[in-house]
Amino acid sequence: MKNLQEKSKKYPFISVVISAFNEEKYLPLCLESLSNQTYPKDRLDVTVVDNNSTDKTFVIARKYGAKVLPEKQQGYVFAFKKGLDTAQGDIIAVTDADCKVPKDWLEKIAITFSNDNVVGLTGLSRLAVKSRTVDSLTKVLYHFFLKGTFYIDRPNMSGSNCAIRKSTYKEMGSVNTNFQMSPDVDLGMRLKKHGKVIYQEDLVVSTSARRFEKRIFQALLEYGKGYVYSAWVRKPPPVKQAVIR
């Protein structure tokens, strides 16, 4: 037993942060996937930042053993900031409440951060849809979009699948709450000044398609504008993140 404990201590401690507002429908699948990680359970913790939910989000989070932190100021950016500011791990991993992560998600993150030059990473998010054609098409398009943004040194950090070195986060300063759209992209732009931020192609999570249901063009326009303003104009986008995550 002692040998196993000593071996476990060699792994960096990882804090997983999930922002949530009325997520009783999706949160169980997300937390279930986190409970099945190959990573040592004594080297990770999970925090759900509850952004004024009125459903069973709090109850579900506690049922799965997650820490629950309230954030009264409404908006994803404020919950995002609360989660990152309070995380205690050497590495902070971030995903969304409607995402399902693979069993080796944290293991892959830890391996990448064994390179001391890496201060941040983001991976791919694929839509959980029944159509294989839509799944494949959106996966390929998003892959090339992310790869392109990193190639031109304007990285699109994705809050549904990313990780940050805690010491670098403390050094660079907190989340800028003026970015009420794409605060994750702004964070990635600031992170790259402190070290290497990478797109890890084999780090893939599954996410719901709810952001694009009935408003696909509007959603794409909002996210596109968020990226352009955050990564290129370097000013807060003139649009707010939808409350739904």
pLDDT score recorded for residue 243: 65
CA 213 – CA 217 distance, rounded (Å): 10
Is the separation of the CB atoms in 68 and 18 below 8 Å?
Answer: no
Position 221 pLDDT exceeds 80: yes
pLDDT digit string, tens, across residues 61-74: 999 999 999 999 99
Position 230 pLDDT exceeds 50: yes
- Residue for token digits 């959106």? 138
Is the separation of the CB atoms in 184 and 80 below 8 Å?
Answer: yes
Average pLDDT taken over every residue of the chain: 93
Position 97 pLDDT exceeds 50: yes
Strand partners, 46: 16
Is the separation of the CB atoms in 135 and 209 below 8 Å?
Answer: no
Q: What is the pTM of this model?
A: 0.93
Burial of residue 120, with CB atoms counted within 10 A of its CB: 0-12 exposed, 13-18 middle, 19 or more buried:
buried
Kindly report the backbone phi and psi dihedral angles of residue 134, in degrees, each rounded to the nearest multiple of 5, phi listed first.
-65, -40
pLDDT band at 8 (very low <50, low <70, confident <90, very high): low
Strand segments, DSSP code E, in 59-159 are 67-70, 91-96, 99-100, 118-127
pLDDT digit string, tens, across residues 174-199: 999 999 999 999 999 999 999 999 99
SS3 167: helix
More confident residue, 91 or 219: 91
Q: What percent of the chain has pLDDT over 90?
A: 82
Is the separation of the CB atoms in 188 and 169 below 8 Å?
Answer: no
Helices (runs of H) and strands (runs of E) counted in the chain:
9, 8
pLDDT score recorded for residue 209: 84
Instruction: Give the residue-averaged pLDDT of 25-30.
Output: 98
Q: In what order do the strands lie in the sheet with 161-165?
A: 67-70, 44-50, 14-20, 91-96, 161-165, 118-127, 196-207, 99-100
SS3 80: helix
Find which of 7-11, 17-21, 136-140 is predicted with most confidence, using mean pLDDT: 17-21
pLDDT score recorded for residue 240: 80
DSSP category for residue 211: G
Instruction: Give the residue-averaged pLDDT of 162-172.
Output: 98
Domains and CATH numbers, the chain: 2-233 (3.90.550.10)
